[in-house]
Amino acid sequence: MHWYKLFPNKEAFIVFLLYIILFVFQGVFITASKTENGIYDYNTTLVVFLSEFLKLNISAVLYTLKKGNKPNIFKAVFKNYSLLLYYFIPSLLYCFYNNLAFINLSHYDPTSYYVLLQFRVVITALIFQFLFRKKLTFMQWISLGILTFGCMIKNFDSATVQSTEESDIWSNIFNIYFLSINFQNFCSCLAGTYNEYLLKTKGSNVDIFLQNVFMYLDSVICNFFVLMCKGELGTIFKDFESLNDVFVILITVNSAIVGIVTSFFLKNLNSILKTYASALELVITALVCYILFNIIITWYTVTSICLVSIAVAMYLKNPVNNANTNHDDSKDKKPLLEVVSN
């Protein structure tokens, strides 16, 4: 295996492992925070808002503590205001993604949820090729196809479990939650790949902690508007009382750490490897959920995980090179912000 292409250094490998472990924890914590009726007795949007606010503060503190000849944080934000504006795109998409995670995990168990999220791999590959102009090889596309097929099998599993005499399997597959999780996939793909694009191109000369400040400042603003649109600003202080739960606190803190780790992942690795890291979460999640929540591991699940594992193994044989793309692409490519606006 070309390990030097996968992990350029030990730190990158540690970030890779942390990313997987923390996301497994996140799914478990959110599932554990549900009531016996499968609902949340706390304001999930407020939890996302507080998590983004915590990420913003952590990033600001780390930027301030980091040694080096650099301007103070307020001058740095003003100096790079254009980059701050670009970060509104991934921030808004991550805002949708994080809020939809609670909705979709209320309908799917963590294993099914993470398997269905793997539909994003093909979308990520297409966006990755567009932004970085790196063509994927035939074997990489075969690997992505196997990964997607494994996800489809797991989707049939989830639908079969939920099917009743009054509703057939197809209505359980193509329901509102299926559309919701695929929209979540789209948000994840575009946000992650575009975030990587900013980290490695337009923001390549900007401190990573300052880039995180841009990301999470925009995220706080986006989630504030979500709270306002849902009419929950008036009850925000009352909702704080419902957050006094150990799992809600763990969700908030773990989400904040995940956000910081993800930025290092995208800076040192790439979005394609990120999708495979997410796929590796499946095996761990299935075992943890069986032990903690007694969620049965069906043959559908076993088959799906095997296909995902085969796809990961194929990718490890021929990975996308993780070398940073630190070039000025303003001469030959329009920014995605302009592409979207057009």
Q: What is the mean pLDDT of residues 66-90?
A: 84
pLDDT of residue 193: 78
pLDDT beyond 90 at 306: no
Distance CA 105, CA 112 (A): 9
pLDDT beyond 60 at 307: yes
pLDDT beyond 70 at 19: yes
pLDDT beyond 70 at 52: yes
Percent of the chain with pLDDT over 70: 73
pLDDT of residue 165: 42
For 113, the enclosing helix (H) or strand (E) is: helix 110-116
Distance CA 173, CA 194 (A): 30
pLDDT beyond 80 at 235: no
CB 264 within 8 Å of CB 58: no
pLDDT beyond 80 at 318: no
Which of 109-113, 141-145, 185-189 is predicted with the least confidence, judged by mean pLDDT?
Answer: 109-113
Residue 253 is encoded by which pair of tokens? 């803190």
Tell whether the torsion through CA atoms of 218, 219, 224 and 226 is positive or negative. positive
pLDDT of residue 54: 93
Number of domains in the chain: 1
Residue positions counted in the chain: 342
Q: What is the mean pLDDT of residues 72-95?
A: 88
pLDDT (tens digit per residue) in 152-180: 676 565 545 444 444 444 454 556 777 88
CB 49 within 8 Å of CB 223: yes
Tell me, rounded to whole angstroms, the distance of Cα 85 from its chain centroid: 21
118: amino acid identity, one letter: Q
Distance CA 195, CA 21 (A): 21
Residue 326 is encoded by which pair of tokens? 């630190």
Q: Identify the residue whose tokens are 């329009």.
A: 334
Q: What is the mean pLDDT of residues 201-217?
A: 85
Query: Dihedral, CA atoms, 80, 86, 87, 90, nearest 10 degrees?
Result: -170
Q: What is the DSSP letter of 202?
A: I
Q: What is the mean pLDDT of residues 65-69?
A: 75
pLDDT of residue 174: 53
Residue 22 sits at the vertex; the CA angle it makes with 194 and 132, to the nearest 5 degrees, is 20
The mean pLDDT value of the chain amounts to 75
CB 113 within 8 Å of CB 239: no
pLDDT beyond 50 at 16: yes
Q: What is the mean pLDDT of residues 191-216?
A: 82
pLDDT beyond 50 at 329: no
Domain that holds residue 252: 3-341
pLDDT of residue 330: 41
